[in-house]
Chains A and B, each alone.
Chain A
Amino acid sequence: MSTLTLLALTGLGLGALYFLIASGLSLIFGLMDVLNFAHGAFLTAGAYAAWWADGHLPFYLAVAFGVAVGAAIAAVVETALIRGLYARPREQILVTVGLGLAIPALIQGVWGADARTVTPPKALAGTVGLLGARVPTDRFVLLAAALAVFAGLKVFLAKTRYGLVVRAGVEDRAMVTALGIDVRKAFTLVFAIGGALAGLAGALGGVYFGSVSPGQGTSLLIFAFVVVVIGGLGSTDGVALAAIAVGLIQQFTNYYAASGLGDLAVVVMLALVLLVRGNPVLDRVAASVGAAVKSSVGRAA
């Protein structure tokens, strides 16, 4: 039981990390049709910023600094490089690919290729007893952060004016522009939010993995892509569910099968989801199962 609890919470922590990365990706893609390959670079930048600031500031301020750096880089990238390529989606992707190569290399040039150890503050270094397991505290911090981001995104999209513009822009960008609304501001905002979430994921990921390294963002980004594809682009709920599923499957397979098989299991799951989704009959089955689950959950709540 204690192993199960530990595995489940570690998996959930990983899922929370994936959610932080994937929600930003999905939002950016949904609104702007940009597949942001630089997202991993934003994450690495945020992680290094938090690691660097940790020596000078209290931990929570260091995390805030990482978030701010992620947001700032994303906003600069959007205004300086992405905006000029409006209506050329392919070139936009290529620019983010170039940045995704250059930014981690630059970080490697400054701080070296080796991983740097992250020393978490005392409050996070310990463990919490739960159902007979000693669960590291940072898992709960990640989960809390992901829940807060999930709720925050929901409120932002549903209740605020900008959220309305973003949702409408995802639906039909041309129409929103035709109504006289400047979507470009929403673009910058969404990019900055994505960058901030990537920075947060980097700062907390450093604590979760115990270190930061230049290649960390890129390897996490690939799993975030898997989460986004499984969850469906532009859907916060789908991304959250997919992130949890991917995190749990990865942890449990890594423990019960062989280490490393968990990563493969995730890719196999992706292939299965794609095959099922491509098949109209199975698609309808999946949709009806989904609807049934939703209604039963609704009744339970």
Chain B
Amino acid sequence: MRYVRHLAPLVVFAVLLSLPYSALRIPGVFDGALNTPGSLQLLALCLLFAGLAVGYDLLFGRLGLMSFGHALYVAIGAYGAELAMKNLHLPLAEGAALAIAVGALTSLVLGTVSLKGVGRLGAVGFAMVTLAFAQAGSILVSRDPKTTGGEEGLPLSTEKVPGHLVGVVNTVNLYWLALAYLVLVCAVVWWLTASPVGRAWQAIRDNERRAEVLGLNPFRYQLGAFVLAGTLGAAGGVVHLLVTAGATPETTTSDFTLALLVMVVLGGSGTRWGPLLGGALYTLLDHRLGALATSDGVASLPAVLRVPLSQPLVLLGALFVVVVYAVPGGLVALPHRFRRLTRHRPLRSAHAVGGGDGDGDGDSTLNEREQVAAEA
């Protein structure tokens, strides 16, 4: 089974590379063929959010840090790059580099404050404090409409962007860009997770005190991951700016972070494929449900059905609660759970052997967590 692990990313990558050349129609999911600009735009968004979710899971799944302020870094990337192009008249590459640097610096400062200062409040304090900092960013954007465009956001300064990234004809290039971002994030996160750093992360996540006694400095590892996630988030913000052709205030809100959280948990946090799958699926669902909400079919339904169907968040929130309850490991844990259900008498010892072959990555921890859930 080992070669499957190494082959799977290549197969997925090959499929994603071939999508823009396919004239396949998937009715009900994409309006036109896959190679039409509309579908490619949606696919690019799916890949972008898959990448953002993998970056967010670096904190949530790998280190067990519940950050509720990840949107701040995405917003810094998007607004930073756009403002650098508009007000400093920098070309895209330099503007993007500047924005990502600002994102890295901000995450270093705020990460230090939130990780150092929380103390007794622990994980929950960290969650609340990161949320408050991100809210400050949201307030800054909404209270300074002259600079940030307020509720309208900022349109992309297209004259500073290379021509092949602008316009409907070039949507396929935005798709490549989003794919490149996803590959970059996956490469960084997967590589680090498999390295000794990843083992240290896992030790800290499972038991911070024990890791400290063993001579690790949890704060350093946590801050490092926080800065890395913030930097990747800012890079994702730049991609978001280009794919959506503007910086929107939605990227600053706490709902944006919560959406990332939902994606990660939906797919399966702390696993290789879970956040990726969750990010893509959530984005697709959000768009399809949004289209469904405005369709005639829904408008003619009785109020009991019409009201929840007209609000994608009602369905997504409810789906999230169901997943947390019924599928603790997320969607990627489903096949495993199904296998266990179909097996006649699951032996504890056999299970432990089954959990051992995950060579230290997310798979083994997934098994552990399920075991705990089964025993509780």
Contact = CB atoms under 8 A, between A and B. Distances in A.
A35 B128 contact: yes
Contact of A267 (B119, B127, B132, B255): B132
Given A97-B262, A228-B128, A270-B132, A108 B311 contact: yes
Contacts of B66: 90, 93
A266 to B, nearest CB: 8
A222 B69 CA distance: 12
Nearest to B110: A271
A286 interface: no
B376 A105 contact: no
A81 B321 contact: yes
Contact of B317 (A105, A260, A270, A274): A105
Given A88-B376, A105-B311, A264-B136, A278 B116 contact: yes
Contact of B258 (A101, A103, A264, A273): A101
A239 B124 CA distance: 16
Nearest to A102: B317
Contacts of A121: none
B48 interface: no
Given A81-B321, A109-B314, A263 B121 contact: no
A264 B136 CA distance: 6
A35 B114 CA distance: 17
Interface string A34-50: 01000000000000000
Interface string A122-139: 000000000000000000
A158 interface: no
A29 B121 CA distance: 10
B321 A99 contact: yes
Contacts of A191: none
Interface string A242-263: 0000000000000000111001
A289 interface: no
A99 B261 contact: no
A275 B136 contact: no
B308 interface: yes
A298 interface: no
Contact of A102 (B124, B129, B318): B318
Contact of A229 (B121, B140, B373): B121
Contacts of A226: 128, 132
A85 B262 CA distance: 18
Given A105-B314, A229-B129, A94 B135 contact: no
Contact residues of A: prevailing secondary structure: helix
B139 interface: yes
Interface in B121-178: 121, 124-125, 127-129, 131-133, 135-136, 139-140, 142-144
B119 A278 contact: yes
A98 B262 contact: yes
B314 A102 contact: yes
A174 B140 CA distance: 45
A97 B119 CA distance: 23
Contact of A101 (B116, B128, B320): B320
B267 interface: no
Nearest to B328: A91
B307 A110 contact: yes
B324 A263 contact: no
Interface in A40-89: 81, 84-85, 87-88
A233 interface: yes
B261 A94 contact: yes
B63 to A, nearest CB: 13
Contact of B113 (A94, A222, A275): A275
Nearest to A228: B128
Contact of B133 (A104, A263, A267): A267
Contacts of A222: 131-132, 135, 254
A109 B139 contact: no
B10 interface: no
B42 interface: no
6 contacts: A98-B321, A103-B317, A104-B313, A271-B117, A275-B117, A278-B117
Interface of A: 29, 33, 35, 81, 84-85, 87-88, 90-91, 93-95, 97-106, 108-110, 218, 222, 225-226, 228-229, 233, 258-260, 263-264, 267, 270-271, 273-275, 277-278
Given A97-B261, A222-B254, 9 more contacts: A33-B124, A88-B373, A93-B124, A105-B317, A218-B254, A222-B135, A263-B139, A277-B117, A277-B119
Closest 10 interchain pairs by CB? Answer: A274-B117, A102-B317, A260-B143, A105-B313, A98-B320, A101-B317, A278-B117, A109-B307, A225-B128, A98-B321
